[in-house]
Structure 1
């Protein structure tokens, strides 16, 4: 049973005549009769009273009319819904990020919501190491990670350039300095994340290279906790610049340059290469590109080309 057959059937019912239905459908009467005959054969019941000339329905025909109207109404509703999706008047976008990379999303989502207010957005918090797999398993359409993933099935776009910054509380003696050397930090009490990361390893190697101890006195489970703890005067920290922009502007934390520490990195947007992105996801990518064009560095939009060399593993962010 096809929808086109049901359309012909309902037209005959509405016109109460095979000949008038044929005119309305721009078909010949024999063609209309053939469609109804085939439909009756598939159902196994006559649909019209043969003795009647006004298209009177049989009991089976009455039952089919109700279902045919509902099916065609559903088809029209589906077509309308799909048009709304294309017009970004409805839809859902699922993103995966961790505590850190979610901060990059905030200005992007602000612009996206302004342009596409009808799109529902869900940002699920995930471990960085699991985000590529979540995208591949389709539990998220787009992921934001702080390392270039190894999976060949993923497309990757560099979207933000970030640095590691040294922050101290406003009353700290180093808060008055524009920059310090690593050797000046040997006596400082550092507050760090309690999950080891390749970036932390880079920092440790830099301190070892300058024969300076890295004293980590307190380890906390989140960047937010680290920032608050340092702001209250409990030690110093090395954190992503993106994570302390607000606190530095407010004067709650002070950033002091450490020239010997070069721990810059890029944030990457990833999605399935072979997948078909939703209209909402395509609109999101346009916002990401436009934001990079309008604001410039640190916002980026650099697509990873096939065959690009991987950065050293040490450039990967922690797995939190």
Structure 2
């Protein structure tokens, strides 16, 4: 018994006549009759009563019809769902990122959602160091990180670069400087994220190389909280420029380059083999490969296989 046989059987029951069912299916009446005969033989039960007025299902036929109709409807629903996935009129995209990298993603996410409003997009918050493993475990389909993934089996596409800057309140004495030296920062009160990252370790090492104390007196769980504390004049921080671009443009914060701190951050989208990606993930990657949205500082995108 297969779906093609059930399709013939359902047509005969609904049309109540072999010839009308044959016409509906585009087959000969003999072919329809042969299919029903084989189906009855396979199941070991009479499915149709034939009389001068047409055919009606037997008790076994009525039972089979109910299941057959549901199976055919499910087939049609499955076909439609797959078609919607392929045309991006449905689907789901899960991206793994930490709080900082989400900021970079927002312009691209905005464009993607406008282009494919029927696709459900979820950004799963992860520690940056965990993102590659989440991608490999299929917990997320794409990941966004600011370092080259060490794990084998991942592909990376660089989509933007950013630099770390000293972020202060607008009225801070250093706010108007063209640049500052690490040695000028030994007496500053620093506010830091309470999740230790690769970039934070690089900052600590840079201060140590210049024999300058790094006075972290406040640690907070989010970039937004850090920005609000800086704005209130509680302290300063070293943050990626793009994380504070909007506040700097509005005059709420100032961003000053630190001369000895050339911590250029490359933002990368990472993924598994392209052939295993959903249509939604493929569309997102295609989007970030093309001219980038405003409010980013991307370099030319290129894949980096690791």
Query: TM-score w.r.t. structure 2 length?
Result: 0.90
Is contact 1:292-1:299 (8 Å) kept? no
**Does residue 279 of structure 2 align to residue 279 of structure 1?**
yes
Structure-1 separation of matches of 2:221 and 2:244: 16
- Structure 2 CA distance for aligned equivalents of residues 255 and 37 of structure 1: 81
Q: Please state how far the C-alpha of 1:116 moved relative to its aligned partner.
A: 0.9
CA distance in 2, matches of 1:25, 1:111: 45
The alpha-carbon distance between structure 1 residues 244 and 155, as it changes in their structure 2 partners (threshold 3 A), is same
CA drift of 1:182 comes to 1.9
Q: Which range moves more in the overlay, 109-118 or 53-62? A: 53-62
* Aligned partners of 2:154 and 2:305 also within 8 Å: no
Which whole-Å CA distance do the structure 1 matches of 2:59 and 2:99 have between them?
Answer: 63
Cα deviation digits, residues 75-119 of structure 1 (max 9, x gap): 222222222222222222111111111111211111111111111
Please give the secondary structure, in 2, of the residue aligned with 1:171.
Answer: coil
Count of residues paired in the alignment: 306
Query: Cα distance, 1:42 vs. partner?
Result: 2.6
Query: Counterpart in 1 of 2:133?
Result: 133
Q: How does 1:110-259 map to 2 (within 5 A)?
A: 110-259=110-259
CA-CA distance at 1:294 after TM superposition: 8.0
**Could you list the per-position Cα deviations for residues 52-91 of structure 1 after superposition, in whole angstroms to 9, with x for gaps in the alignment?**
6722322211222233223222222222222222222222
TM-score normalised per structure 1: 0.86
**Structure 1, gaps ≥5 residues long:** 307-320
Asked if 1 retains the 8 angstrom alpha-carbon contact of 2:191 and 2:216, the reply is yes
Q: CA deviation digits over 1:175-199, x for unaligned, max 9?
A: 1211122222222222222333332
Aligned match of 2:4: 4
Deviation of 1:262 (Å): 0.7
> Deviation string for 1:8-35 (max 9, x for gaps)?
1123334544455445544454433332
What SS does structure 2 have at the residue aligned with 1:304? Answer: strand
Q: Distance in 2 between matches of 1:235 and 1:64?
A: 75
Q: Is the 8 A contact 1:175 1:255 kept in 2?
A: yes
Distance across 2 between alignment mates of 1:6 and 1:37:
12
Contact persistence 1:292–1:300 (CA under 8 A): no
Corresponding residue of 1:315 = none
Q: Give the alignment's Cα RMSD to 1 decimal.
A: 2.4
Closer, same or farther: CA 204–81 of 1 in aligned 2, 3 Å: closer
Aligned to 1:289: 289
8 Å Cα contact 2:195-2:221 kept in structure 1? yes
In structure 2, the gaps of 5 or more residues are none
Aligned to 1:311: none
Tell me the secondary structure at the aligned position of residue 174 of structure 1.
Answer: coil
Say whether 1:269 aligns with 2:269.
Answer: yes
Q: State the Cα distance separating 1:230 from its structure 2 match.
A: 1.6
The alpha carbon displacement at 1:51 in A equals 6.3
**Please, which moves more after superposition, 129-138 or 287-296?**
287-296
Show the counterpart of 2:85: 85
